[in-house]
Amino acid sequence: MASAKRIVVDLLGRAGVGTDGREPWDLHVLDDRFYGRLIAQGSLGFGDSYVDGWWQCPRIDELIHRVLSYDLEADVGTGWGVRLQLLKAKLLNLQAPSRAPEVAAHYDLGNEFFERVLGKTVMYSCAYWRRAGDLDAAQTDKIDLVAQKLEVATGEHVLDLGCGWGAIAEHLARTRGCRVTAVTISPAQAAYVRQRCAGLPVEVIEADYRDARVVAAGPYDKVACVGMMEHVGRKNYRGFLALCARLVKPEGLCLVHTIGTSVTTDVTDPWIERRIFPGSVLPSVVDVARAAEGQLTLEDWHSLGADYDRTLVAWHDNFAGYVASGELQRGERFNRTWRYYLLSFAGCFRTRRSIQLWQMVFAPVGRKGGHVSVR
């Protein structure tokens, strides 16, 4: 134990992080078993030990930012859990249609919960903060940015693939005069979108994106896929973009908004994979290029990673307020899980090193006269 403690204290010290120090990013150890668990399990042990109450930190976001900035993960090493995850990813299709319910479970925590955390738009993806001063305005600006990039026009039929709680579908139908087909695998989301878009020309399909009903409802003038590619998986990227190419009309456009990784990998962080998003994996630049090759023309690639830090902090502030109100009755472990999830992700995006956020615009063939890049 003493040896593990010395190793961890030394590693954290390299990043300017103390144990039981006075800085808000310093880590306060409440159970000495933490040190051995971190050495044995890496990031999985780090997150789980926080949820178990073995350590505390006022600024988890800044703690993670500092740890990642100094690449301390490489010094801790890869545990057996990560190696097993890599093997499973090589042998199995962890994002096959049969596994879709595992993904849906995260989104079925309750519509009221997500309304309180995500704000008025109930938009669970990176906001656009160029002009906005608050979360709701930033999310509305992001939705409008998507509409502008897709050059959405009145009377067009738009596919909202992975529609979440229907913010984009409602916006396009209400302000752009479009007909929208919205697709989600979550029963709770599907019910919410139907109610939200009642009276608007929005059809909701509760199914995996590969379902025959999605194809049958097309072809579409435009396709928007915001925050879904993270669940597609490396074995399915090419098939996913092939489907997009098949669904959109020859003169149409497709926008993909996704978190991406700076280094190509078959797996995601083990704590996120096990505790938050089962089966998730982030695409790299190489993954996207190989998947699109010969199928779609890339018209625009916009990096928005810095905006996700501020988005996650805003979600955490909403979550903290929800907890403080006493209205969220899910227990301390749930609260610590979500606090760690939101703030650790904020720290990751603040580092600008390992994960990014991209919006990519594709066309079946190159646009005549070119596509105008909107910022």
Let me know if residue 369 belongs to a domain. no
pLDDT value at residue 76: 56
**With 70 as the cut, is the pLDDT of residue 353 above it?**
yes
Domain boundary among 44, 77, 110: 77
Domain boundary among 30, 49, 77: 77
The pair of structure tokens assigned to 57 is 């930190």
- Identify which has the larger pLDDT, 370 or 140: 140
Give the closest residue to 250 by CA, choosing from 151, 363, 147.
363
Overall average pLDDT of the 84-91 stretch: 41
Domain boundary among 23, 43, 77: 77
Could you list the residue range(s) of the whole structural domain that residue 69 is in? 2-77
Let me know if residue 370 belongs to a domain. no
∠ CA 65-262-143, rounded to 5°: 85
pLDDT value at residue 107: 86
pLDDT value at residue 266: 87
Same-domain check for residues 160 and 284: yes
- Identify which has the larger pLDDT, 73 or 35: 35
Same-domain check for residues 47 and 11: yes
**With 70 as the cut, is the pLDDT of residue 77 above it?**
no
- Give the pLDDT confidence of 249-293 residue by residue, as tens digits: 999 999 999 999 999 998 889 999 999 998 889 999 999 999 999
Asked if 213 contacts 207 with a C-beta cutoff of 8 angstroms, the reply is yes
Same-domain check for residues 62 and 112: no
CATH number assigned to the domain comprising residue 343 = 3.40.50.150
- Identify which has the larger pLDDT, 157 or 375: 157
pLDDT value at residue 106: 87
β-strand 157-161 against 179-184: which pairing, if any? parallel
- Identify which has the larger pLDDT, 193 or 99: 193
Three-class SS string for the chain? Answer: CHHHHHHHHHHHHHCCCCECCCCCCCEEECCCHHHHHHHHHCHHHHHHHHHCCCEECCCHHHHHHHHHHCCHHHHHCCCHHHHHHHHHHHHCCCCCHHHHHHHHHHHCCCHHHHHHHHCCCCCCCCCCCCCCCCHHHHHHHHHHHHHHHCCCCCCCEEEEECCCCCHHHHHHHHHCCCEEEEEECCHHHHHHHHHHCCCCCEEEEECCCCCHHHHHCCCEEEEEEECCHHHCCHHHHHHHHHHHHHHEEEEEEEEEEEEEECCCCCCCCHHHHHHCCCCCCCCCHHHHHHHHCCCCEEEEEEECHHHHHHHHHHHHHHHHHHHHCCCCCCCHHHHHHHHHHHHHHHHHHHHCCCEEEEEEEEECCCCCCCCCCCC
Measured distance CA(263)–CA(278) in Å, rounded: 20
Let me know if residue 253 belongs to a domain. yes
Let me know if residue 86 belongs to a domain. no
pLDDT value at residue 102: 65
Domain count, the chain: 2
Same-domain check for residues 31 and 103: no
- Give the pLDDT confidence of 101-143 residue by residue, as tens digits: 666 678 889 999 999 999 999 999 999 999 999 999 999 999 9
Same-domain check for residues 174 and 299: yes
Same-domain check for residues 59 and 103: no
Let me know if residue 204 belongs to a domain. yes
Let me know if residue 314 belongs to a domain. yes
pLDDT value at residue 80: 43
Same-domain check for residues 101 and 35: no
Same-domain check for residues 184 and 146: yes
Same-domain check for residues 343 and 208: yes
Let me know if residue 373 belongs to a domain. no
Let me know if residue 273 belongs to a domain. yes
Same-domain check for residues 144 and 255: yes
Overall average pLDDT of the 222-240 stretch: 95
**With 90 as the cut, is the pLDDT of residue 349 above it?**
yes
Same-domain check for residues 246 and 288: yes
Same-domain check for residues 51 and 164: no
